[in-house]
Structure 1
Amino acid sequence: MEAGDEAGGVRGFWRRLGLPGLIDVHTHFMPDNVLRKVWAYFDAGAALVGREWPVTYRVAEGERIRLLRDFGVRRFSALVYPHRPGMASWLNEWGAGFAARTPGCLQSATFYPEPEAPGYVKQALDDGARIFKAHVQVGAYDPRDPLLDPVWGMLAEAGVPVVVHCASGPVPGAFTGPEPFAAVLARHPRLTAVVAHLGAPEYQAFLELAERYPRVHLDTTMAFTGFIEETAPFPRTELPRLAALGDRVLLGTDFPNIPYPYRHQLDVLEGLGLGDDWLRAVCYGNAARLLTPET
């Protein structure tokens, strides 16, 4: 599909719903050296996750920004995440600079279990961070680590959402799955968490957490796409629960690191048959309410 044709199709989707555009809470922009390593990980997909994972939007940063704007994505994130100590603070500085020079980008920040974490998280909040990312799988850390307890508490108090990759897809880690993060929520029940990928493959357990904690949200990243359904299909018997949580489901895509066109994510959500009101809330309204009053 030509880029212009794809952009026209995406714009047609949200215009049909009467929306002013889309808000995508789960997109990635990173320093070039970090993004190259992420792409190398996906290039090695067959060895690491058991299947090929071509990156559809492997283009320069400016072209990726232009694509999102052509799609009509009015707000998007630049979710950065560390895989070792000593990275998070400078990633936060980069994220602040990227947001400052990129209209429409939510200032994004991250953290890692290290003694410095409370200090640089407070600094990021003071500097205007509006969304955080915690990647339990890539970071290979326990979210219950005592070093993170003040961080979770600070984010809960601030009400700033944190997108958490805590489920076991695409491959399980030492601390993935619902139990470790459920313990974090039990200690910090007011945490505004966004569980990435609808919690795939442990969908039911993360639906239960969202039902139990009113500030837990779910994002749609890769959910229901042909790529993920091959290995971790969402149980269709759980669709009524997803519909009932319609005010706490947010559009996420994983752009640019997806092995299919952006439009596919929207098509599969529409194909669920949960109705236009649900789609309007998921693709714009819920995030507009959660993230920023001016959106």
Structure 2
Amino acid sequence: MTVDATREAPEGGIGDGDGNADVEAADAVSEAAEVRRFWARLGLPGLVDVHTHFMPERVLRKVWAYFDAAGAMHNGVEWPITYRLEEDERVALIREFGVRAFTAMLYPHKAGMAQWLNQWAADFAGRTPDCLHTSTLFPEPGVEAYVREAVESGARIFKAHVQVGAYDPADELLDPVWGLLAEAGTPVVIHCGSGPAPGKHTGPEPIGRVLARHPRLRLVIAHMGMPEYVEFLDLAERYGEVRLDTTMSFTDFAERMTPFPRPALPRLADLGDRILLGSDFPNIPYPYLHQLHALERLDLGDAWLRAVCHDNGARLFGL
């Protein structure tokens, strides 16, 4: 997605103050109970979600404004924000879902933003202990210094967004950064697939050049690399530290636009120890529970679901 919209988002979503707040709150409680039943049936202590969005409010409002206009941008497909809530309500709800660890995926769309976002994210992690301390980056002078500072300050995961930032991940300014993160073993969730709209540097080829130089880099390919699913599975099979997150993949919403190729399901099963649960909460156009059901209906078995929904993330972050 991009974040160049500037207008405030209209009201909508759960608890939007339209007179149905009590009903919507009851719906949220009911959904939370269903989510907890999902992971309890699998014998899990909860969920680990590596792709959730918490960011400064004025930035988040612009993101929501973009999605409110997304129908006009993406072939008339509307993208209502299901969880248009205040920050404390969003944190409380994801905890009610039983998510043991989540992230504050945030990203700059231009130079000069990353350090400010990282400062906000460090503060958010400090007051939200179940949020993995998240940082971001951009190809700009000084990037190696502030990424090193973030790592030394306890950042546990980074977010990079090739589409929004409109940069080549193989930019020479980022080369020492990828080396630093590979050496530190710090995972990087990277949106480098060409969905929902392609960019100049999206797709498997640019990030493949990065991996050729830094094969130990712990990249987590967001959205399973949508729509280049097969090509990103190729990269995961080639590089042992590459992982993929499930964000939006396999849901009814995504399947209508970019269906996952069913002949590739055995490869997904074989990579079961490197697939991580991601949701895009709160910026999703359907209930959180639907992502879990979408994974369940792949029929890859309970052991695969346990690994994806909890164990792989718990192992990666030492939970």
1:55 aligns with 2:55: no
Deviates more, 1:132-141 or 1:45-54: 45-54
| In 2: Cα distance, 1:249 partner to 1:82 partner | 26
SS of 2:189's partner is strand
**Alpha-carbon deviations, 1:111-162, whole Å to 9, x = none?**
0000110010000001000000000000111101100101111110000000
**Alpha-carbon deviations, 1:8-60, whole Å to 9, x = none?**
00000000000000000000000011101111110110222232111100110
| Root mean square deviation of aligned Cα | 0.7
1:144 aligns with 2:175: no
**Alpha-carbon deviations, 1:204-263, whole Å to 9, x = none?**
000000000000000000000000000100001100000000000000000000000000
| In 2: Cα distance, 1:56 partner to 1:18 partner | 28
SS of 1:124's partner is helix
SS of 2:159's partner is strand
1:38 aligns with 2:63: yes
| In 2: Cα distance, 1:241 partner to 1:193 partner | 18
For 1:107, the equivalent position in structure 2 comes to 133
**Alpha-carbon deviations, 1:46-93, whole Å to 9, x = none?**
222232111100110000001100000000000110000000001001
SS of 2:108's partner is coil
1:124 aligns with 2:150: yes
| In 2: Cα distance, 1:277 partner to 1:234 partner | 21
| In 2: Cα distance, 1:259 partner to 1:182 partner | 31
| In 2: Cα distance, 1:135 partner to 1:83 partner | 8
1:163, distance to aligned residue in structure 2 (A): 0.1
Could you tell me the TM-score, scaled by structure 2's length? 0.91
Q: Give structure 1 stretches of 5+ with no counterpart.
A: none
SS of 1:147's partner is coil
Q: 1:176 aligns with which of 194, 199, 202?
A: 202
For 1:7, the equivalent position in structure 2 comes to 32
The letter of the residue matching 2:283 is N
SS of 1:230's partner is helix
For 1:246, the equivalent position in structure 2 comes to 272
Following superposition, which runs of at least 4 residues in structure 1 exceed 6 angstroms of deviation?
none
| In 2: Cα distance, 1:116 partner to 1:264 partner | 41
The letter of the residue matching 2:83 is Y
1:206 aligns with 2:254: no
The letter of the residue matching 2:31 is E
Aligned residues: 293
1:178, distance to aligned residue in structure 2 (A): 0.5
Q: 1:22 aligns with which of 47, 51, 56?
A: 47
| In 1: Cα distance, 2:98 partner to 2:112 partner | 36
For 2:96, the equivalent position in structure 1 comes to 70
1:4, distance to aligned residue in structure 2 (A): 1.0
SS of 2:173's partner is helix
The letter of the residue matching 1:130 is R
1:256-275 alignment runs, 5 A limit: 256-275=282-301
For 2:107, the equivalent position in structure 1 comes to 81
The letter of the residue matching 1:103 is P
The letter of the residue matching 1:262 is Y
| In 1: Cα distance, 2:212 partner to 2:62 partner | 35
| In 1: Cα distance, 2:182 partner to 2:72 partner | 38
1:161 aligns with 2:187: yes
The letter of the residue matching 1:170 is P
Could you tell me the TM-score, scaled by structure 1's length? 0.98
SS of 1:112's partner is coil
Q: Give structure 2 stretches of 5+ with no counterpart.
A: 1-23
SS of 1:137's partner is helix
SS of 2:158's partner is strand
SS of 2:257's partner is coil
SS of 1:146's partner is coil
